[in-house]
Amino acid sequence: MNKFEFQNPVKLYFGEGEIAKVAKEIAPGSKVLVTYGGGSIKRNGIYDQVMAALKDCIVIEFGGIEANPDYDTLMRAVALGKAEKVDFTLAVGGGSIIDGTKFITAAMNYDGDPWDFIVGKAPVPAAKPFGTVLTLPATGSEMNCGAVISRRATKEKYAFHNAKGFPQFSVLDPTAVFSLPKRQIANGIIDTFIHTTEQYLTTAGSPRVMDRFAEGVLLTLVEIAPHLIAEGTPSYDDCANFMMAATMGLNGFLAMGVDEDWATHMIGHELTALHGLDHGVTLAIVWEGTMNVMRREKEAKLLQYAERVWGITGGTSDEIIDKAIAATDNFFRSLGVKTLLGEYGIGEETIVAVRNRFEERKWNLGENGIVTPEKVEQILRCRL
């Protein structure tokens, strides 16, 4: 078991109607920058609840942040926030809005070119205070200090972390899931699933409690996914379980004392950067390749995963692992997501492009740093 340091100061308000608690967290009279996306919050009533909670504040709005939030869009929010000298920023949305807001609140504290801290050329500055109202369970961003930012101009997508950039609070109201398109629910389930496996399907010998917690998130997703994805509005409890699973999947708890992988995410980011695929879709495509190619290094954990999550035990190691990968593929496909590159019209040239990018950046991925650019090519090649 590895040494670790852990701290997560985020305050959660969980439950129907809890958006009103925003009023407890932001001082009356504050100038609040409210960030959001394409406007779905105006149709499902969340916008109205937020504005009611902020009735004693001065509100500046910045809407229109897109999925895979774009650097150029976000820089306009930074300029607005600086010009207005806002006291607090409230992100109302899913992971893209929250990630974008993590960038905005850090960049408002930065005088140089903020791209530098995204790509690691400069330390990330402490963020100005912000909170979130979560509308889409998926990324866990509401209870962590990481963010992923895209730059369409250069087809790039990078993650950064900011130990001084946790939300002060996050409101998790499960009723936000009621009106989500099934495609977004499917993406959120897959994102949560693979956040968990990135912290679980690595080396043997991780803490037993963390293995059980990770398996608990995965089992929960497998149990509730059919209800969430079925036609019609899901139940409150299914939505609540989904929201809790997503938050627990990436708030640092599952990572205590474990080795982490993240190769699937890093490769997936390139597919989004190059082709604009949904993040969840890229993960469903890449994951099976990573497990296939790295099956020897991950063998002990893949066998444990097969048994504890899917109840698969009979046969040789490779047979069990094949069955577990197939069960996972069936699960992703049951959500309506295609899992092969060819099904999205993506072929050979992209594989070469991704390999070249990792070679240029000298990136070796995975829990042991042995997912070389050559291995990345192998991973993608078995997903053609």
> Which residues contribute to the site for a second copy (CB under 8 A)?
1-18, 21, 174, 205, 207-213, 215-217, 219-220, 223-224, 236-237, 240-241, 244-245, 248, 253, 256-257
Evaluate whether 98 touches 91 at the Cβ level (below 8 Å). Answer: yes
What gap in Å lies between CA 19 and CA 228, rounded to an integer?
23
Nearer to a second copy, 196 or 328 (CB): 196
Least spacing, CB of residue 289 vs a second copy, in Å:
28
Helix (H, G, I), strand (E, B) or coil at 215: helix
Helix (H, G, I), strand (E, B) or coil at 160: strand
Least spacing, CB of residue 290 vs a second copy, in Å:
25
Nearer to a second copy, 18 or 156 (CB): 18
Least spacing, CB of residue 312 vs a second copy, in Å:
18
Least spacing, CB of residue 217 vs a second copy, in Å:
6
Chain centroid offset of residue 173 CA: 18
Nearer to a second copy, 98 or 224 (CB): 224
To 10 degrees, the CA torsion angle through 172, 175, 176, 180?
Answer: 140
What gap in Å lies between CA 305 and CA 301, rounded to an integer?
6
Least spacing, CB of residue 208 vs a second copy, in Å:
4
Nearer to a second copy, 133 or 148 (CB): 133
Which residue from 19, 28, 11, 36 is spatially nearest to 104, judged by alpha carbons? Answer: 36
Least spacing, CB of residue 5 vs a second copy, in Å:
6
Nearer to a second copy, 16 or 319 (CB): 16
Nearer to a second copy, 170 or 339 (CB): 170
Evaluate whether 186 touches 136 at the Cβ level (below 8 Å). Answer: no
Which residue from 221, 247, 72, 70 is spatially nearest to 158, judged by alpha carbons? Answer: 70
Query: Angle, to 10 degrees, between the axis of helix 263-275 and the axis of helix 279-293?
Result: 140
Which residue from 216, 223, 231, 187 is spatially nearest to 332, judged by alpha carbons? Answer: 187
Least spacing, CB of residue 96 vs a second copy, in Å:
24
Nearer to a second copy, 71 or 213 (CB): 213
